[in-house]
Amino acid sequence: MQSDYRGDQIDLPTKKPRTSQKNPNPPLSDAQKGANKVLSQVRIFIEHAIGGMKRYTILVHGFRNRKADFEDDAIGVCAGLWNFVLSC
């Protein structure tokens, strides 16, 4: 197993239970709704950041490079440019 694997730290939203004849409308508790809201706010922030970086075509289209670790450098440059755009 890889040392950087963080599968045990993944936060998943609480799903609403299935409906049944005994409980046709099962609700989520207020604590579960609050936790889902916090998790979705973090997720939206991250999705917007990734979407902003994907405005740069080097990340969207396939790049036939032969340099080692070029993908990491490209992602770093695009992240820096996107942070610069957000700061202006």
Give the whole-angstrom CA distance, residue 46 versus residue 54: 12
Percent pLDDT > 90 in the chain is 34
Residue 4 lies in a domain: no
Cβ atoms within 10 Å of 79's Cβ, excluding its own: 16
Decide if 23 is inside a domain: no
User: Which residue intervals of 1-88 are DSSP H helices?
Assistant: 30-53, 57-60, 70-87
pLDDT digits (tens, 9 = 90+) for 34-81: 999 999 999 999 999 999 998 988 888 887 777 888 888 889 999 999
SS3 54: coil
pLDDT at 15: 82
- Is residue 38 one of the residues assigned to a domain? yes
Tell me how many domains the chain contains.
1
Q: Name the amino acid, one letter, at 66.
A: R
Residue 76 lies in a domain: yes
pTM tops 0.75: no
pLDDT at 2: 57
pLDDT band at residue 3 under the 50/70/90 scheme: low
Structural domain including 73 reads 29-62+69-88
